[in-house]
Amino acid sequence: MSISKLLVANRGEIAARVLRTARVKGIKTAVLRHPSEVDSPAHLIADEVVTIDGPTPVAAYLDIAQIVDVAQRIGADAVHPGYGFLSENAAFVAALEEAGVTFVGPTSEVIDLMGDKIRARAFVEERGFPVAPSAIEDDDPATFVERARAVGYPLLIKPSAGGGGKGMRVVREDSTLETEIETARREGERYFGDGRLFVECYIERPRHIEVQVMGDGQGNVVHFWERECSIQRRFQKIIEETPSPALSEAQRLDICETAAGIARAVNYRGAGTVEFIYAQDGSFYFLEMNTRLQVEHPVTEMVTGFDLVAEQLRIAAGEGLSAAQADIPQNGHSIELRICAEDATADFRPAIGDILLLDEPRGEGVRVDSGILDGGKVTTDFDPMLSKLIVHGRDRAEAIARARRAAQDYVILGVTTNLAYLDAILDHPKFRSGDVSTGFLAEEATDLTQDWDPANTDILAAATVLSDARLVKALENVPEIYRLMGSWRN
């Protein structure tokens, strides 16, 4: 089948990005909009904008019945879910299937499997791919301590019912293992009402490395190389790049082939990402598989020259992959910065406001995937990410230089953003040398606050008063004698 009309069940920058490719391919397009949203680039690109309702704006985008109904009503033969919202929701995929609408993504069975962390991990392990050594108490409580010991040190004890780091304990030597297990059990009972535990090997200063894969659902899978996403704040990626500065050529092939192998094992269809935790000694372990397009997919597009959304649409239309593995290059270096409306100097408090002036950077190797327009408004209804700045350079140093220049040239006035913070990360010696881990921001955050340059105060004060139309006008109306006195009074 070919796709003649595509509904993008998303918003913001990713909706605009998907719509652009659909238009280039000559596909009619539609996008959703909640009444609380102001105009965004997606609304200008789409042929049709369909209003959806819900108790909250986010709830509207999660309303399966309503969105399936929209797709049928407007005659869309396919739905692209973007990322987030319903992109990894097996029930949504099943509902579309039933309605006879093509879902641009994998089957609901694969989404189900990969969405269940324990099942996914067991599946990957059974097929001989690397997972971090671990021991699950429930498997056989009588031998738990013995099996935990076999994992090796350092190890991490986690409550089975846990989350958010509560009750987690790092054990570095065998002599404390049993007492730490008892402490973790008491904490698990206290926090979660459940004392069952599991143990996994603790990886010091890990990196987050992931691999873009694409499958046709007919057994053919290719990879589009890796991305390194170790620059994270509270588990949220904010800078991604490819290639990873950590990998040798042999390691790169190893990790990319492993990812492709995992995708092949589930006969993967569409775009997916296999995430790994990468240890300082070069070993790596399967973490999870995301069954959708990732936020950071553009860096892959910059180095491979492929349009991943175009590939997704081909596969959904049954046209298969456009390239064999040997045709997919990794040219130069690409970096993505996530521009968020937040105040990095005030504990990353979400910022709101009107976008009074917007001027995006341009130039060689610079791409902006934006969800905002000049004159728009930033609210807390949705995720604080406003746009993504993606650059390409011949090598990592050129990519960093271009990313810094573009971040500095990016003018967003009226709402506070993390642009200066991102620029400070790019300028950090450890980032420059590629010596990072997922703990980088937590460990180095103090080095990223910049000292105030007193010369700025004069410049900003002068510009503020001189651009204050009321003040300058009032001054013009003051008689000469008072003007000379500066209207001072004592």
Partner 1 sequence: MRRILEVDGEDVPVWLASTREGHVLHMGEREIPCSLEQAAGKGAYTLELSETRIPMRIAVSESATFIHFNGRAYEIGRTDPAEALDKAGSGASRDQMLAPMPGVVVSVSVAPGDAVKEGDALLVIESMKLETTLKAPRDGLVAEVPFAAGDSFGGKDVLLRLEPQEETE
Interacting residues with partner 1 (CB under 8 A): 354, 356-357, 359, 374, 407-409, 411-414, 416-417, 419-420, 423, 452, 456-472, 474-476, 478, 483-490
Shortest approach of partner 1 to residue 477 CB, angstroms? 10
CA-to-CA distance for 391 and 423, rounded, in angstroms? 13
Shortest approach of partner 1 to residue 431 CB, angstroms? 17
Contact 102, 33 (CB under 8 A): no
Shortest approach of partner 1 to residue 340 CB, angstroms? 14
Residue closer to partner 1 by CB (options 24, 460) is: 460
Residue closer to partner 1 by CB (options 305, 482) is: 482
Residue closer to partner 1 by CB (options 324, 469) is: 469
Residue closer to partner 1 by CB (options 442, 462) is: 462
Residue closer to partner 1 by CB (options 59, 485) is: 485
Residue closer to partner 1 by CB (options 161, 475) is: 475
Shortest approach of partner 1 to residue 432 CB, angstroms? 18
Residue closer to partner 1 by CB (options 235, 488) is: 488
Shortest approach of partner 1 to residue 454 CB, angstroms? 9
Residue closer to partner 1 by CB (options 44, 474) is: 474
Shortest approach of partner 1 to residue 342 CB, angstroms? 13
Shortest approach of partner 1 to residue 373 CB, angstroms? 13
- 26: its two tokens: 């000559």
Shortest approach of partner 1 to residue 298 CB, angstroms? 23
CA-to-CA distance for 166 and 469, rounded, in angstroms? 55
